[in-house]
Structure 1
Amino acid sequence: MTRDRRPVTIVVPVYDDLPGLERCIEALLETVDFSVDRVVLANDVGPRVDRIEERIIQLVGDHDGFEYTRNDRNLGFVGNCNRAVLELDRTGNDVLLLNSDTVPMPGFLDEMTAVLASDDAIGVVCARSDNATIASFPYARRNPRANLAPRRTRELHGRTKYLLPRHTVSPVAMGFCFLIRREMIDRFGLFDEAFSPGYGEENDFCLRINEHGFTSVLANRALVLHTGSTSFSGDRGPSLRLEHERILLERYPFYGGAIALFLARYRDAVDVFADAFLPDDDVVRVALHVPSDLTNEMVARVRSTLEAAPEDVVVTVIVPKTQVRVARQAFPGSAIAVGGRPRQIFDVAVALGALTTFAQLSALNANAPRWILVDPVSQDLRWAHAVANHRASAIDRILRRFENQSTTWHDGAELVRLIRAAVATDIDPAALRARWHAVSDIAEATGLLVHRATVSIRRLTALTFGARSPRLVARLRSIAGRGL
């Protein structure tokens, strides 16, 4: 397969982090076909430049597939990449920018190049990873407090990669593993020095080529592990991130809306709920959705469920924002969330009573791949009842298309039994996709989900202030997170 594709020049920008660089070079020696591809190691004169140079020479020696270069002075990440790609590489190859703190998995490059070759409109391809923001796998977790080990990502990726589409279109690709079609470089150059020494340059590149009709995609079957070491010490890193985000939003006011739209609509449903396809513990995680009106009867039902749940069934009570205080008083010591947690998914979502708003349905859709409906809308044929409850009835009809089970309330122990039975069933990817897209489409068409094409002056001002005082901003966010 390798010999039938276009060759690639892999550019590895080198600065510091010698242990990470050693792992990266060792992985490249094992995974790259050097009869087709080549590697350029571009040393950007970091604090241990001589030691790193010595070790690189020890590792690659006179290997024909590697080229080593050392800058006369430190150019920063943007300058280093631009020099390596625009000045040193004269092959005409497609280019893969690969961070030195990555560990590519076998077959990654063949898969990425196959995706790039599949459509002339694809300009950039990014691999999946354990640490790469929107390219992370999994993105949402069943247990956000647990550390995501590389082993977990490898296992989960192996379980689900062939359930996913081969690639997913995204607004931007992540710079840790960034395969660029050579035509893009010839037409549009590479990174803008406005983002020097680093942060945001790859996003700007993706959005720049997109204005000319070219897309960036995630190669869902290619995996590259990424440590994500800190490139800038002290306040410099946060300051650069905030300042460069401001530049991005000034140039592309729709950028924030594009990321939100991608997360809400363009990801495949298997990707959204990947962490539930192969649970990494024996715990059943449940999102228990309660109606907006917490009546005494509903409080009793929730308490019955919480009391019946053993230690291996962890229940989070999902309530409207207006009911948080009431819920905390009614269910002391229990996990309470408002409309679900955006970075958490559950094994099962339970609607405890009829859903009466589309916002509730949308939250249920985002929470879990399996649904249980308890006491859904009564199908009373009297016209007075039908008129009074027509909206809830319409939502109920949507729910019933995608439910795993509907039931009447008996007690908490019976509900826990149904939850265990639901978790024992395999997730159907096709049915999950149908549900995800149907609810997402309705949410966008009705205006429940709005992705703005502009950025507010307030946001830009906040980013400017944050770039000047990153520690103060971090302190304020910490205080806000504690509710003080």
Structure 2
Amino acid sequence: MSEHRRPVTIVVPVYDDLPGLERCIEALLDTVDFERDRVLLANDVGPNVDAVERRLLELVGEHPGFEYVRNEANLGFVGNCNRAVLELDQTGNDVLLLNSDTVPMPGFLDEMTAVLGSDDTIGVVCARSDNATIASYPFARRNPRSTIAPRRTRELHGRTKYLLPRFTVAPVAMGFCFLIRREMVDRFGLFDEVFSPGYGEENDFCLRINEHGFTAVLANRALVLHAGSTSFSGDRGPSLRLEHERILLERYPFYAGALALFLARYRDAVDVFADTFLPDDDVVRVALHVPLDLSDEVLARVRAVLAAAPDHVVVTVVVSSKQIRRARQELPGVAIAVGGRPRQVFDIAVALGALTTFAQLSALNANAPRWLLVDPVAQDARWAHAVENHRASALDRLLRRYENRSTAWTGAADLVRLVEVVAETEIDPSALRARWQAVTDIAEATGLLVHRSTVSFRRLTALSLGARNPRIVARLRAVTGRRGA
């Protein structure tokens, strides 16, 4: 770590949640270099303000690296942060806004400041976490019904962080751990009070500075655990989220498209498939892709594979949207998915027959780091066949470039055994990265992946109505396809 990097003021906004706050302070005492950096505890007069204050003062005592301030009245998260950064901290330091329900891991601040100092156009840096939407690690899970335990994130991050690029450019950084270059504050202020008391303010800040050429990035090798927001109970939290999302989309109509573009393009392939690099169980999770012609023969093969798969081989049948109705009718009780799922990854994707469209190839790319091809396109010397099948042949050449294995169909039992063998194959990060980028480039260049720069009036209206009637929030999210920021 450079001895010449800028010092940091760590601002911890305090409201309630004393147990979480205790864990955060204890972690800071263990991880911060107080000869260089300082901590400002900003107490925003929560419901148990006196008890919180007593305990805070017990924890930090006369420690010279801590400063404690109590507001005269509750300002809300946005107001509390603005006061702490714009009024109370007069050091000129860079600023780290750190939620009180976080537990920073050793070395987090050195890594984040190193990233911030690596490029003058980086305005904001946030860490990776077990619970931080697009900064979560892993973001996509092998088992989407599972929850990510802090221990799992720590182990996976420790084993894979050096396979990742040091940082990833993102549309926004997450506010739970938000390191800001002081120049950004001096030039652009901090949070817009329209987002008071909270939700969306950090996204607005990132998008605002980006209009002036500055970026937000994820520091992939820094880890900060995060319990998650408990600030707003009942309907208030969902109402604020929807209302503030509406404001963001009105100000930045490209915002939803930017998030989609980030998920499809800007993440590193190791990040996309991180959960498969160190499985947390003995299950082999398989995405079984079927041809566009869902013939009786194909369905028979699918049923045979499902019957032959032992308990530790879990198969999800992947179909196109046009096939979903028939697939559900013909395969009752079977796990079926449409195309790629951004929040689920598999250990291996099996193409059960020739792929004939780029959409199928793109779904295969999104599903798993390993590919197994069954009965791929047959090579034929006759020009009549070559002309008729030229598109499938071109796709086949792409598939062969990145496949792990191809085989002819010799029966379900043989295929399941081969699946288990290929699933044990070590993932090559360089080859995976090349495959991910090549397929995604083609998908975007050909218009298969389109990231819109505008927002529909229908969506804005839905968000506005939802903010006034939080009981329909879940339904609105399903309708608008919201995945979170």
Q: Which of the five TM-score ranges fits, normalised by the shorter chain?
A: over 0.9
Deviates more, 1:390-399 or 1:2-11: 2-11
Please state how far the C-alpha of 1:480 moved relative to its aligned partner: 12
| AA aligned opposite 2:423 | V
> Does 1:258 pair with 2:250?
no
Contact kept? 1:2, 1:36, Cα under 8 Å: no
Please state how far the C-alpha of 1:216 moved relative to its aligned partner: 0.5
Deviates more, 1:88-97 or 1:320-329: 320-329
Distance in 2 (alpha carbons) for counterparts of 1:29 and 1:161: 24
Contact kept? 2:98, 2:178, Cα under 8 Å: yes
Equivalent residue of 1:4, what SS? Answer: coil
> What's the Cα RMSD here?
1.3
Distance in 2 (alpha carbons) for counterparts of 1:477 and 1:64: 47
> Does 1:134 pair with 2:127?
no
Contact kept? 1:27, 1:104, Cα under 8 Å: yes
Who is 2:79 aligned against? 79
Distance in 1 (alpha carbons) for counterparts of 2:230 and 2:293: 47
Who is 2:168 aligned against? 168
Distance in 1 (alpha carbons) for counterparts of 2:451 and 2:298: 35
Please list, as runs of the form range in 1=range in 2, the aligned pairs for 1:389-400 lying within 5 A after superposition: 389-400=389-400
Please state how far the C-alpha of 1:199 moved relative to its aligned partner: 0.4
Please list, as runs of the form range in 1=range in 2, the aligned pairs for 1:235-246 lying within 5 A after superposition: 235-246=235-246
Equivalent residue of 2:322, what SS? Answer: helix
Deviates more, 1:36-45 or 1:292-301: 292-301
| AA aligned opposite 2:179 | L
Please state how far the C-alpha of 1:331 moved relative to its aligned partner: 2.1
Who is 2:234 aligned against? 234
| AA aligned opposite 1:390 | H
Contact kept? 2:238, 2:473, Cα under 8 Å: no
Distance in 1 (alpha carbons) for counterparts of 2:187 and 2:477: 42
- The superposition leaves residues 270-329 of structure 1 with CA deviations (integer Å, 9 ceiling, x where unpaired) of 000000000000000000000121111111111111111000000000111222222223
Distance in 1 (alpha carbons) for counterparts of 2:480 and 2:177: 35
Q: Output the TM-score relative to the length of structure 2.
A: 0.97
Distance in 2 (alpha carbons) for counterparts of 1:301 and 1:169: 43
Please state how far the C-alpha of 1:420 moved relative to its aligned partner: 0.8
Distance in 1 (alpha carbons) for counterparts of 2:324 and 2:250: 37
- Point out where structure 2 has 5 or more consecutive residues left out of the alignment: none
Please list, as runs of the form range in 1=range in 2, the aligned pairs for 1:350-429 lying within 5 A after superposition: 350-429=350-429
Distance in 1 (alpha carbons) for counterparts of 2:253 and 2:330: 44
Distance in 1 (alpha carbons) for counterparts of 2:280 and 2:238: 33
Contact kept? 1:129, 1:137, Cα under 8 Å: yes
Q: Output the TM-score relative to the length of structure 1.
A: 0.98
Distance in 1 (alpha carbons) for counterparts of 2:59 and 2:289: 56
Contact kept? 1:115, 1:166, Cα under 8 Å: yes
Contact kept? 2:40, 2:68, Cα under 8 Å: yes
Please state how far the C-alpha of 1:111 moved relative to its aligned partner: 0.2
Equivalent residue of 1:169, what SS? Answer: strand
Equivalent residue of 1:287, what SS? Answer: strand
Distance in 2 (alpha carbons) for counterparts of 1:206 and 1:20: 27
Please list, as runs of the form range in 1=range in 2, the aligned pairs for 1:179-218 lying within 5 A after superposition: 179-218=179-218
Please list, as runs of the form range in 1=range in 2, the aligned pairs for 1:287-298 lying within 5 A after superposition: 287-298=287-298
Please state how far the C-alpha of 1:475 moved relative to its aligned partner: 5.3
Distance in 1 (alpha carbons) for counterparts of 2:89 and 2:341: 46
Equivalent residue of 2:46, what SS? Answer: coil
> Does 1:44 pair with 2:44?
yes
Who is 2:341 aligned against? 341
Contact kept? 1:3, 1:36, Cα under 8 Å: no
Contact kept? 1:373, 1:407, Cα under 8 Å: yes
Distance in 1 (alpha carbons) for counterparts of 2:430 and 2:472: 47
- The superposition leaves residues 353-393 of structure 1 with CA deviations (integer Å, 9 ceiling, x where unpaired) of 01011000000000000000001111112111111111111
Deviates more, 1:434-443 or 1:326-335: 326-335
Who is 1:159 aligned against? 159
Equivalent residue of 2:20, what SS? Answer: helix
User: Equivalent pairs: percent with the same residue?
Assistant: 81
- The superposition leaves residues 393-442 of structure 1 with CA deviations (integer Å, 9 ceiling, x where unpaired) of 11111111000011110111111111111111100000000000000000
TM-aligned CA distance change 1:2 to 1:118, over 3 Å: closer
Please list, as runs of the form range in 1=range in 2, the aligned pairs for 1:428-447 lying within 5 A after superposition: 428-447=428-447
Contact kept? 1:2, 1:33, Cα under 8 Å: no
Who is 2:324 aligned against? 324
Equivalent residue of 2:125, what SS? Answer: strand
- Point out where structure 1 has 5 or more consecutive residues left out of the alignment: none
Distance in 2 (alpha carbons) for counterparts of 1:266 and 1:381: 40
Please state how far the C-alpha of 1:478 moved relative to its aligned partner: 7.9
TM-aligned CA distance change 1:477 to 1:240, over 3 Å: closer
> Does 1:34 pair with 2:60?
no
Distance in 1 (alpha carbons) for counterparts of 2:188 and 2:340: 42
| AA aligned opposite 2:24 | C
| AA aligned opposite 2:444 | E
Number of aligned residue pairs: give it.
481
